[in-house]
Amino acid sequence: MKVVMTGAAGFLGQKLIARILADPQLPSPQGPRAVTQLCLFDVVEPPIPAVSSAKSPAISTQVGDITRADDLTQLLGEQADVIVHLAAVVSSAAEADLDLGLRVNLDGTRTLLEVCRGLAQPPMVVFASSVAVYGGALPAVVTDNTALTPQSSYGAQKVMGEQLINDFSRRGLIDGRVLRLPTIAVRPGRPNAAASSFASSIIREPLQGETAVLPVPETLALNLLSPRAVIANMVHALGIPAADFGASRSVMLPGCCVAVSDMLAALERAGGPAARERVHAQPDAGIEAIVGGWPARFDTAKANALGFSADRDIDAIIAAFIEEDRIDAC
Ligand SMILES: NC(=O)c1ccc[n+]([C@@H]2O[C@H](COP(=O)([O-])OP(=O)(O)OC[C@H]3O[C@@H](n4cnc5c(N)ncnc54)[C@H](O)[C@@H]3O)[C@@H](O)[C@H]2O)c1
């Protein structure tokens, strides 16, 4: 099976590649299938994680632009079985530059889907959407029937991408699966341009002896999912029969609803009082406006019925970071 990944140099791309290399067997609605070809695409050269595997797929990398049909035609060739579309400009960057966000997040997704129309068979396309599709005056608990009212350009671009994936699926041009991702924490590495970047920083940096800035009030609640659980859910999505999604290919993944104060308490449990003291409040109205507009409480009945799953609690999320990214809590 040929698996293509856009945004392969990014955070989730690298995690998913590592998962595929560790076990090049992926679910499909017809049963497990071996990945024989893994084609990685990004505007920067995608690194190949050092994971040893008995049966490695053939790996190719391509540097290109998701908005350029020629690049994508070269990437997909005559056939692709699964396309995991992760290339994007993330939330703060898309808010700061409307044209860039529209170009990459909307035009890029449309261009990819147009190129899919030329393939011999409709490919399965997994699209990473976001909790940012919700916003504004929301019910206390967001359900599968809550209207999509994004309050950021990034959220609006994700909604448009979702609609394209759904319409192309309805037409039988692709077999789409849209996963609305909660805020992912704890990300390894350095802070990025996502408005929610602090959700990782306030755990990651203090556990490594560094200070971190908290731009939002401690009462703010977030809906969190660990990278490990996101990747497990992406893999799970590949095995679900299309008909089980019903009238919409979109699904909000389950997460843990956690107040920042609970995150800080869990940080202290994992790293001691010294770790907690390394987090300093520095309010940022812009970040609070974006992240505070995202809902934190969900009833993810559809995702639960389809077999998607969340981490147990915030302690499990921190434990996954320490274990997976080999951090010695200090
Ligand atoms: N990490 C999260 O918290 C989160 C939450 C919700 C949704 N998502 C979505 O998941 C996906 C992956 O997120 P991530 O955290 O890995 O982001 P990331 O920023 O680490 O990776 C995105 C990748 O897209 C690439 N890219 C940007 N413009 C491109 C272009 N024009 N052509 C080709 N590649 C381009 C970047 O170089 C980068 O490697 C994105 O679609 C993002 O919107 C992430």
Measured CA to CA in angstroms, residue 318 lies from 111, 192, 202 at distances of: 38, 19, 11
Name residues whose C-beta falls within 8 Å of residue 237's C-beta, 6 or more positions apart in sequence: 126, 177, 179, 308
193 CA closest ligand 1 atom index: 19
81 close to 120: Cβ distance less than 8 angstroms: no
Hey, how many other C-beta atoms are within 10 angstroms of the C-beta on 314? 26
For the chain, the domains span 2-183+224-252
CA 243 – ligand 1 centroid, Å: 28
- The class (CATH top level) of 2-183+224-252 is alpha beta
292 close to 216: Cβ distance less than 8 angstroms: yes
Give catalytic residue positions. Answer: 154
Backbone angles phi, psi at 51, to 5 degrees: -130, 125
- Around ligand 1, the residues with Cβ closer than 6 Å are 6-7, 9-13, 42-44, 65-67, 86-90, 104, 108, 128, 130, 181, 183-184, 194
CA 95 – ligand 1 centroid, Å: 14
Backbone angles phi, psi at 218, to 5 degrees: -65, -20
Q: What is the pLDDT of residues 123-166, one digit of tens each?
A: 999 999 999 999 999 999 999 999 999 999 999 999 999 999 99
How much is the pLDDT for 55? 80
Tokens 């050269």 identify what position? 45
Name residues whose C-beta falls within 8 Å of residue 20's C-beta, 6 or more positions apart in sequence: 3, 26, 35, 38, 57
Tokens 């008995």 identify what position? 54
12 CA closest ligand 1 atom index: 16
Residue having the nearest C-alpha atom to atom 1 of ligand 1: 184
- pLDDT band (50, 70, 90) for residue 92: confident
164 close to 117: Cβ distance less than 8 angstroms: no
Q: What is the pLDDT of residues 225-235, one digit of tens each?
A: 999 999 999 99
Amino acid in the structure at residue 145: N
CA 128 – ligand 1 centroid, Å: 9
CA 214 – ligand 1 centroid, Å: 23
**Of the given ranges (19-33, 50-64, 246-260), which has the lowest mean pLDDT?**
50-64
By three-state DSSP, how is residue 132 classified? helix
